Structure 1
């Protein structure tokens, strides 16, 4: 029999009231009792059901709203109250952007994550992209050809191109993660372009590489799409951030 005196003990954690409220809501979501479009009881009724103060309840709802889980609407009746959203919100992108700003993740971390994700979605897009997807991607690239674009506008379209590839891969989670990642690094990308001696020269290369990637996807050549995306990303990071190509993971092992 083990001696309890020598077993490791864990500190007792004091859980705040609003965290308990969130835990109950999370459990009901996990159990399938709450789904997108469902409405929580009124603040007065809900606080009575939970036997918590209204300020504690409001704090829980504010956190859930910031995470993009609920939409808290002012007013009474059918127009007001807290409703579970039916689409992913920006909460993850906002959190990731703050984490990056605080230096919790390096440029190498971002590079490796982008490579792992974008190599996979490029291969899947080459297999699954529809005619509508190709048309949408072509439209993005046509807009990138505008010579009057600013560095910020060009980067926004650059992100849209990569996110659209992820969307055409048929995996909504990877598409949302790609969108969140690009949103989080937008400021870094714009700064990188603006610090170049001639960002339009780099943009010309980027546009050409984008066209080559789209062509590979359109002809259903997954292997070529993977190779082109890998080279596209690693070359940009090497030229712009000074990161060696060896910084990336062995993405050949990630190919489906």
Structure 2
């Protein structure tokens, strides 16, 4: 299994597009940080913790780039005709699929770490390493760093769901473009679909309603989340997570690649 994972990681990190995506994310983080501080310094409101949370919106690049990798990591083998060479190895199809899934998750974690480190170091420099929290309000008076870790952690759970969905579509339909398109649709239109169906009680079980888990960090979630809890949302997402992975495994295990 370790060799399979290492092989999949080599496929990811040896491609130029991977480092182009990382470079784009870093450049955007740098530009956004300077722009944020230039704008907020004008009214004297710039501070480290506020910048870290407000600039976390850049994480949508992590979603996009992880979706691209998840959509291509299986479908790409069929597109390039390398799936036969991969499956003639003694490893079972389940192990092959699991190695690809693990490699996709490692890539997502790698992007999250890179973004967090870049934002942390850059904003620490821009604020003169001033880690005070004069105006940044934290729910329940917890430390800003703890709040920040919760924020990024919940964001990563949402990323896990969207990436797993893209991985399922890639495995089931062998189409990276379809996987990217549908995953992007879920990610960008989830709030719209939620607003359309929120008056129906069964909408509480739609995945769209639970992709933004950061809403539970606020004291008053309000809106469509006022009758739900973090535990309920995690339960719903867990069911979808299991279903997505079962579909991926069943379809990939039974697919005929002889043709």
Query: Which TM bucket (shorter chain)?
Result: under 0.3
Q: TM-score, normalised by structure 1?
A: 0.28
TM value normalised by structure 2: 0.28
Higher relative contact order (CA 8 A, sep 6+): 2
